[in-house]
Amino acid sequence: MRWSLSLSLVLGFVACDSPGSGTPCVDCGLPDGVVRDVFDARDDIDTRADTEITLPDVSGDATPIECLDGLTRCVGELVETCINGHFVATQQCESNQICRNGACRANECASGVTECRDAVVRTCTDGLWQTVESCQYGCDGGTTCAVRGSDQCAEIWRCVEEARCITDNNVNQGCVDQCKLEGTGETGAEVQLIADCFDECSGNLTCIVQYCIPKLTSCRFPRTGNGTCDALSNCVAGCFTDQCVTTCYSGASRDAQTTYMQWANCDRLVCGGSSGCPDCQAYRSTCLFEEP
């Protein structure tokens, strides 16, 4: 097959068809009506003074609270309940739980873990997520914020596309260099890696989809979320504008973004626009059925 296409075809799906669619282009508190009933039923609870525990000194932000029958509080990993005017230990939280708001609750996360999710870097402390940083430009696909402007690489690549710097098996390096002047050295180097990939594939469409599209994905869509490829596919199917598609991509994980881009471009380039041809089934299956 002779490779005779402009790069607008590679990203052309953004504003129109999607694969498989026919659509164009928050230490203590009263439990919520439960604890008082529970302890009314537990008549065998020992409320003698020798069952009481010595509380740690109150300091910092901690505030002593009045003991009202039925009120619960956390002391370390113990749940204490006010019974007949005395706080007594009534529950020891399990190793996989944390005492919070007067009750043992499941840990939200594993302590020490850090992640970047939904444009927020957060770390797990004592089983709870704590925000570290809000990301102006979204996540970088790992555990930190993206450091460059969200659209800079995409804008430079759009220049490469519109100037037809890569057509008919050829990469016009002078043309690419002119477009790279619009961005930083870091972004220019990213664009160059994409152009080099197209050059090395020498018009082999399968090569472009397998090796170049993943590089192009992080340039075109720097923001990431945690959505699946299947969800991304459904979202894009209802879009009629580039902005809509970009919003869909920003909610998807990097793996989901890459797989969908490969599927979409495989359908367009390798299969000539025909959805579901055998050469692209691996990408489709990964996106819709095999992705975790």
24 has pLDDT over 60: no
Domain assignment of residue 191, yes or no? yes
250 has pLDDT over 90: no
pLDDT, one tens digit per residue, over 40-95 is 333 444 444 444 444 444 333 344 568 888 899 888 888 999 999 899 999 998 87
Say yes or no: 96 and 232 in one domain.
no
- Read off the pLDDT band of 140 (50, 70, 90): low
Say yes or no: 85 and 209 in one domain.
no
Q: Give ∠ CA 115-191-285 in degrees, rounded to 5.
A: 60
Say yes or no: 215 and 279 in one domain.
yes
Domain assignment of residue 142, yes or no? no
Q: Between the CA of residue 32 and those of 38, 98, 101, 104, 137, what are the distances in Å?
A: 12, 18, 11, 14, 40
Range of the domain at 71: 28-43+67-101
Domain assignment of residue 220, yes or no? yes
141 has pLDDT over 70: no
212 has pLDDT over 60: yes
Domain assignment of residue 258, yes or no? yes
Provide the residue count of the chain. 292
Say how many domains are in the chain: 2
Say yes or no: 239 and 166 in one domain.
yes
15 has pLDDT over 70: no
Say yes or no: 251 and 162 in one domain.
yes
User: How much is the average pLDDT of 182-192?
Assistant: 87
Domain assignment of residue 52, yes or no? no
Say yes or no: 156 and 281 in one domain.
yes
Spatial separation of the C-alpha atoms in residues 9 and 168, rounded to whole Å: 12
Say yes or no: 159 and 88 in one domain.
no
